[in-house]
Structures are given as structure tokens and as C-alpha cells.
Structure 1
Amino acid sequence: MTRHEGRLGALAEIDSSAAELADRMVGLSVRGLPPGYVNGEFVFTRRGRLGGDGRWTAVPEGRSVRYSAIVALGVAALPEDAQRAALAGDTVLDLVGNLVKGLPDVGNLGDVALVAWAAAEAGHPGLDRALQRLAELEGALRPGDPVHTVEASWALAALVAAHRVSHGAADLDRRLDHARERLLTGLGDDRLYRHVLGPASWYRAHVGCFADQVYPLQALARLHAHTGDAAALKAAERIAAGICAAQGPQGQWWWHYDARTGGVVEGYPVYSVHQLSMAPMALLDLADAGGTSYMKEIALGLHWMTSRPEIDDELIVEELDLTWRKAARDDPKKIVRGVRAVATAINQGSRLGVLDRIYPPLAVDRECRPYELGWLLYAWVFSLPRDTPGTQG
């Protein structure tokens, strides 16, 4: 039995219709990736455009190293024929090779970490080059410099993956310890993770978004699976319990949290990628690493995609093989987010409920970014090996 079958089988024991949806979305993702694959890399987004005939199309825009690397992670889990189907004839080694070639021009720590992670997962010979570029960017940081939680998490996940395939080569032990310590120290006594590890603007210093919880949860669970690190598992369990306690009654994975308490600062938008991909990915990795299983919460989140109180519009668009990005407030200037961040900084737990009436969550963001489909494949197809606890390779 493959991990894909195992995860869906475990979900089917709890909720067969949720498992059927997840299985259907795996196929949609493979079909939906090629339209965004241009000259060996992925576009930034496919933006919905309504034609004169009343039908939607999705127009490719921009390019993204970050999203290309995330797709590489997801596609690496597929057999070669499915890789070629998803990548318009290419394999994941072709995609990762293109990313490695472009590394000298990439200056974002998170993007480089994702490329290194993808190279490790795909078994690409450019892994050493990616690790070197990651070391260069890490070396440019001064003591006390703020680092985004998401980027620090991707760096740890990349080093865990590289450490596994490199069997503890050279300086990876030291680098892995540093990345681990940075992430664990960044959590401190908070209930959840903040957006930045280190100094941040006073009015948002206490706020962390959903991604700021999912990626450290995933990285720490993977670290525990590889090394048996008890502190990493304990922190991962804290984050998982926190986001699941805050989950909405219809399965919504909310957007912004007060890291000090775990309370929700602002719930919207609710993103399709959170419901279908990111929450399942991290929580399933935790379970695979020997942690708590949150299969009921995963199933509830999946069901939001097909039945939700906020909007009637379909978010799964079968004819375009994509999902629309989010259900959001009609609040283009993000007033609600800003006001509630300030309010909770001044008065912990403040909600300002009148904002829900002024800006109800009735809008649909009609675009689809490639990473949404890449993480979906990674969530439901990837096989997480679990090493003997306490070993290092």
C-alpha cells in the first residue's frame, strides 16, 4: 500500500466523502498544473477572467521561483508518468535542475530553502549547490536579525531532508541544530507562532497567520520523525492543538491569530489551499511522525470546500482544473486585519464585532496559484519516512 492509499484509507475510515474529495483533488491537481508551466518554471498565478459568453478562463501571469519549488516537492511524490503529465512532458528532475541553475539570482532565504528541499526530495545532484546558496544567505544574517517564521521553517525542513539523504554529511549536523534552535526559541512561551522571529512592528508583533503555524508544525514533526527530537514533537503538538482548537464550526482554518493566546484575530480570508492542502499536509505529517491524529479536523476542513456558509459560488472549478483562491471580505485595503491587529495589541481578546457587519465575507478571489496544487499533491501523495528515533541519518 502506498502512503497515498494509506492516508486516504485512514481518512475514509473517518469520513468516506472527505476521502473521495481528496482523491478527486489529486487528479485535478495533476491536470491543472500544465497550463501554468512555461519554459521550465511555473507562473505566479492563473487569474480568472470572465468572457463575454459568461464563462471563466484562467490567464497565466508572472513567474515564481517559490511556487515552482513547491510544485517540485509535490510532483516528486508522483511516478514518472504522472510527473510528465503534470509538467507537460518534463520530470521533476528537469524542473529542479532549472531551479538550481537560477540560484545565484535568488536572494530570498525561503525560496532558496524550498529549492534545496525539493532537490533533496527529488534526489537531484544540485542539492550541494542549493545548500551552499542557503548557507550564503544564512551567513549574511546578523545576530538578532528578524527572520520570517515561514522562511525559518522551510530552512529547517530543507536541512532535515538534506540530512536524511546525505547521511549526516559535513556541516549539516551543526546547521540542523542551528535551524532547530532558532525555531524552538522563536516559539518561546507563546501558544502559537508569531509572523516574525525577532523584532517586529508593535501593532502586529503578537500576530501570526495560518502559514506561520503550518510550516513550523510540519518542519518540527519531520525533525522528530528523523531524529526522535522530543522537544520538536512537543512544540509541534502545541501548534497542532492550537489551530485545531481555533478551527471554525464549518471547518474553517482561520487566517490570523494572537500568538500569545491562540485566539483568532481575524478569520478571513479562508483559503482553499489551507482547507485542501496545508492543514492536511502538516497534520498528517505530525501523525506519521508518531504524534496526535487530527483526522476529524482534516475531514471537516475538506468539507468546507463543498459546503460553506460564506458564499454560494463553487470554489472547485472542474472545467478549468483549479480551485479559486479564497472566500474573503470585500475589504481590498485590509482594514479589518489592521484594525483588529491594533485592537488586540492594546486589549487582548478585543474583536470589534461591528466590522463583521460592515465587511461581510462575500467575495471570491478568482485566481489559482501553482503552489496550491503542489502542496495538495504533497499532502496526499508524499511518503514520509520515519527513521529510528534518536538516529541521525
Structure 2
Amino acid sequence: MHTRTAATRRQREVDQGAARLVERLLELAPRGLAAAYLPDSAEFAQTVRGVAGSPTVRIRPEGVNPRYAAIAAMGLSRVPLEVQHDVLGGRTASEVAAMTAARVLGSTDPGAVALAAWAEAELTGSYPGRLLGRLRDLLSGGRPLPTVDTAWMLTAAVAADGLGPARDVLEPAAQRLLAHAGDQGTFPHLLPPQALPRWRAHVGCFADQVYPIQALARAAALTGESSWLAAANTTARMICGRQGREGQWWWHYDVRDGTVVEGFPVYSVHQHAMAPMALLDLLDAGGDDHRAEVARGVHWLDSHPEVVEELVSERWGLVWRKVARRERLKAARAAQAATSSVRAGNRLPGLDRILPPASVDHECRPYELGWLLYAWLDGGDLDD
């Protein structure tokens, strides 16, 4: 599969090395997704894990996750049909998207419903009416909603607009997001955040920032609503201003002032897929150009000064999930969140010495490779 695309060509204008690394990852991704695919049910595993033991190291798919099936289908929709057939046991990405949409109709997971609606609308061209109806009920029901799920609802409504009524999902989802953005554009983990314990309510993770950037940028491009694009720009400037010296996209942020609460783990998917996807969508919508920060983030996959071990596994076609602290039960996050809850800017000193970020997580979840393909490919733009 040839992997020089419109997006990587545009990235070459800023940093050729980063573009070459992305093209290398795009070559690997279909093989990694094939390892996570369960052909009997057309589902995707929760994760693919590297397992040591006799007679050799192997990889093992574990569990199932309909969210990941929708995301993997969206990524695979952008590769040639023969590649889709090879990965999906003769099926196409649109067929897997339709099967996933049918499977989640009775799901209680708002994120799975939103992603399935997005994938069904975008890949099959069908109006996901029943799924959008579920999203309308969730948005009007008054229950707290995760920020990520709400952003996906907004993006799903953008994808469905023009196929059928979607503005009654689009507008309340956008308003729910914007009502809870901090002064620096930082989003909390739950909307409203008061539904979380006090020690956690002021903290939003990286995903809580990038999915709203993407959703608001796409919604602004569709509707012409300039305040939504301005909000996406504000959040993008916040995360780019906090990016690590070696390109790390840090994990948790303080909603009150945008400062980093806890940096680790650094997730590979943030570096090669989620940040590029959101920031390139923002650029396409007429927002700020953050390709330099995208390049720095991608380069971390090779430089990763925290660990000696390589993160890109050519052998398996996978990218190992994260570089994390040597800790148990996310102790550093809990400690930093509790410390900063007293006053913005408070941090525990010496944490890198006590809990060094020196551990590689030998798993790869299929959504990571799905978003990689989706971020960097635009159906039909593959060339030599």
C-alpha cells in the first residue's frame, strides 16, 4: 500500500522526517488491525497484547469493544478495497460499520452509540436515525455526560447533517461543550464537572481536549459559526503551549488555568493520531496552523527519551501503547489531582525520581491504528 497522502505531503512542507515516519506507520497499521479483528463476528478486540513465554513471544487479542470497531472501520474506510478485504476477512469497512451500528442499538454506552452513528453516516451514507434519537435523549435527559462522548455526538451530527435531521443533536452537543470550557479553553472530564468528586472535578485529560477541538472545528466548518472555531482555536493553543520539550502530549490538565496536572503516561496514539487528527481538522476548517507541533509529537515516537526500548514494532505491525511511570493504580494521577485541587499550580515535588516514567506498556488497541489511518488518509488520495 502506497502511503504518501495529501496530509503527509502537506506535513512535508513543515517537517519531512515526521511525514516519513507517519508514512512508515501507515504501512504497518493494516497488519496490526488484522491482528485485532475477530472475523467470525466482525468485531474488534479491546486490545492486542504482547505476551512473553515459551516457545516465543506472541501477541494475543483480548476482549471486544464496539467503540474500537467503529473507529477501526472509519480508519480502514480510507485504504483501498483490496486492503479492507484482506484485513476484514472479505468484508468492507462500510459493512463492518453497519454491523457495528446494529449491534449498539441497545447499548447503554453513549460513546459507542455516538461513534457508531458517526461511522454509519460517513461510511455508508445512510441516515443513522435510531442512533441519533438515542443521542437526542441523552443530551436532553439532564444526566452528566463524558466530554469525549459529547464531542463524538457533535461530530456524529455533523456527519449525519444532510442525510436527515441532525441539528437537534448538533446544537445541544456544542452548547454542552462550550458551557463548561475553562478560561484557557480546557475541558473537564465530565459535563458538568460538579458530578465528579471535588479532588477530580478540575482535571481534564488529553482526550477531553482533542475531541472537542475536532468536533467544534467540523461543526464550525459546516455551520459557519465563528465562535465555535474560536473555541477550538483556544483549546488547541492551550495544548500546544503545554507540549513537552520532546514533543510529548501530556495526559492531564487543570481546567482552571490550563497547566499540566500530570504528564504521564505519554500515549503513542496521542502522538501519531489523535493530536494530528484534531489539529489538521482545525487547519482544514480555517483555524490555526499547528503542523510544527504535530511534527514534534510524531518525532517523539522515535526519540522518546524516557525509555530505551523502541515503541514501533515492525515485527507485529503495532505501536506499543504508552510510556508510563512505575506505579500502581494510577497513584501519580490521584496524588497530583488531590494536591492541585487545593490550589491551581500545586504539584508534588520529586515525582519523576520517586515514580520514574520508564515502563513500556506492550499492548495496542485497535482504535489507535484506526485513528492513525483516519487522521492521515483521505479516501482515494493514496499515491506513489
For normalisation by structure 1, the TM-score amounts to 0.91
Partner of 1:391: none
| Aligned mates of 1:191, 1:107 — CA distance in 2 | 29
Equivalent residues of 1:97, 1:126 under 8 A apart: no
Contact residue 135 and residue 169 of structure 2 kept, 8 A: no
Which residue number in structure 2 is paired with residue 192 of structure 1?
A: 186
> Helix, strand or coil: the match of 1:105?
coil
Q: Distance in 2 between matches of 1:383 and 1:207?
A: 36
- Spell out the pairing of 1:18-167 with structure 2 (5 A cutoff): 18-38=18-38, 39-52=41-54, 55-125=56-126, 127-139=128-140, 141-142=141-142, 145-163=143-161, 165-166=162-163
Matched residues, percent identical?
Answer: 46
C-alpha distance in structure 2 between counterparts of 1:284 and 1:216, whole Å: 13
- Secondary structure of 1:194's partner? coil
Alignment of 1:301-340 (within 5 A): 301-340=297-336
Q: Would you say 1:224 and 2:220 are equivalent positions?
A: yes
Deviations 1:222-264 (A, max 9, x none): 0111111101101000010000000000000000011111110
Q: Cα offset for 1:102? A: 1.2
Equivalent residues of 2:214, 2:281 under 8 A apart: yes
For 1:23, the aligned partner's letter is E
- Taking the aligned partners of 2:26 and 2:89, their CA distance within structure 1 comes to 17
Take 2:333 and 2:182, find their aligned partners in 1: how far apart are those partners? Answer: 25
Aligned residues: 375
> Which consecutive residues of structure 2, in runs of 5 or more, have no partner in the other structure?
none
Give the partner amino acid of 2:349: G
Residue 380 of structure 2 corresponds to residue 373 of structure 1: no
CA separation in 2, counterparts of 1:124 and 1:58?
35
With 19-28 and 101-110 compared, the bigger mean Cα shift is at 101-110
In the aligned structure 2, how far is the partner of 1:239 from the partner of 1:74?
Answer: 25
Distance 2:237 2:25 in 1: 26
Structure 1: gaps of 5 or more residues: 385-393
CA distance in 1, matches of 2:185, 2:129: 36
Runs (4+) off by over 6 Å: none
Question: Counterparts of 2:315 and 2:89 in 1: how far apart (Å)?
Answer: 18
Partners of 1:100 and 1:126 within 8 A in 2: no
Structure 1 residue matching 2:369: 3-state secondary structure: helix
Distance 1:326 1:295 in 2: 22
Report the Cα distance in structure 2 between the residues aligned to 1:21 and 1:52, rounded to whole angstroms.
33
Per-residue deviation at 1:129?
A: 3.1
Letter in 1 for 2:147: T
For 1:375 and 1:16, the matched residues in 2 are separated by 21
State the shift of 1:182 in Å: 1.1
Deviation at 1:308, TM superposition (A): 1.7
1:362 corresponds to which letter in structure 2? A
Cα displacement (A) at 1:81: 2.0
Deviations 1:76-102, CA, capped at 9 Å, x for gaps: 223322322332321012201211221
Are the counterparts in 2 of residues 96 and 124 from structure 1 also a CA contact under 8 Å?
no
Question: Are 1:13 and 2:7 matched, yes or no?
Answer: no
Distance 1:274 1:25 in 2: 14
The aligned counterpart of 2:285 is 289
Q: CA deviation at 1:3?
A: 11
Letter in 2 for 1:195: H
CA 1:292–1:362 in structure 2 vs 1: closer, same or farther (change >3 Å)?
A: same
Amino acid at match of 1:25: L
Secondary structure, in 3 states, of the residue corresponding to 1:291? coil
Partner of 1:387: none
Go from structure 1 to structure 2 and tell me whether the alpha carbon gap of 1:4 and 1:120 turns closer, same or farther (over 3 Å shift).
farther
Q: Which amino acid aligns with 2:314?
A: E
Contact 1:277 / 1:379 at 8 angstroms: preserved in 2?
yes
TM-score w.r.t. the length of structure 2 is: 0.93
